[in-house]
Amino acid sequence: MKKVMNVLVALAVFAVAVVLPNEVLAHVLGDPAASGLVLGAVLNFATLDATSHQTGNPGGTRQLLVALAKSITGVWPKRSDITGGEITSVPTLDPEATKWARYECPDGTIEVSSEKQGDPGFQSYKHAIEFMFSGFSKAIQAELEKYMNAGAVFIVEMNDGTYAVVGSSDNAIFVKQAFKGGKKGNDKRGFTMKGEQDGFVWDILPLATAQVAELEIATEGV
């Protein structure tokens, strides 16, 4: 009887340790809905031509759009707004009449950048932006006052026509300004604005073409 019990126990252990996992794995591999639970847990690197071969890759920007973070309804962008490496939604601005403001800055003075930071297991992204206002007018001063303890979300149009989103409504960019009057007549006189924010789980991403067409941009002075 003892030998029979030992055999039964051994068979039970074999079923749990070998047969059952294989059955579960076979089910997962055969079920597309379930396969992501196992196979999607680790994504291997992809073969990629990242040389911009026979394709223009200019630096620089064409225009800069900005919205006050508190004017954006809810959180934008968020993880669910990202599909295939681009942002596929536009935010609702409140009040309803609010639109994206557009800044015309001196040529070559707008730059966006990002950086992955942190040790393995603790990594995240930092978004950063820098731009310049030329001059020393009351209109510029009034605009800069709006950044006092107020975060913003930026959209830049790059020179290849791609639009990129910097910051988010729940992790806004806070801009700091610095003014220089110049030492002589041909020196630059104006304000340089710099802002950065860390703690993002995605890099600076492009805004999908279909969503670019949905952006409502204010005319000058509005």
Q: List the end-to-end C-alpha distance of the chain, in Å, as a whole number.
A: 92
Q: What CA–CA distance (Å, rounded) separates 195 from 149? A: 12
SS3 57: coil
In this predicted model, what pLDDT tens digit does every residue of 149-173 receive, in sequence order? 999 999 999 999 999 999 999 999 9
Q: What CA–CA distance (Å, rounded) separates 20 from 23? A: 5
- pTM of the shown model: 0.79
Q: What CA–CA distance (Å, rounded) separates 43 from 32? A: 16
HSE, CB side, 13 Å, CA atoms: give it for residue 164.
Answer: 21
The arithmetic mean of pLDDT across residues 85-101, rounded, is 92
* Residue 100 β-bridge partners: 217
Q: What CA–CA distance (Å, rounded) separates 114 from 77? A: 16
Domain ranges within the chain, ordered by starting residue: 2-39, 61-212
In this predicted model, what pLDDT tens digit does every residue of 10-66 receive, in sequence order? 555 455 444 444 544 444 445 444 444 444 568 899 999 999 999 999 999 999 999
- Residues 128, 112 contacting (CB under 8 angstroms): yes
Q: Which helix (H) or strand (E) holds 28?
A: helix 20-30
- Residues 177, 192 contacting (CB under 8 angstroms): yes
Cα distances from 19 to residues 7, 12, 36, 193, in angstroms, run 16, 10, 22, 64
Nearest of 167, 204, 214, 191 to residue 67 by alpha carbon: 167
pLDDT for the residue numbered 131 = 98
Which two structure tokens, joined as six digits, stand for 48? 């990629």
Q: Angle formed by the axes of helices 20-30 and 32-39, to 10°?
A: 120
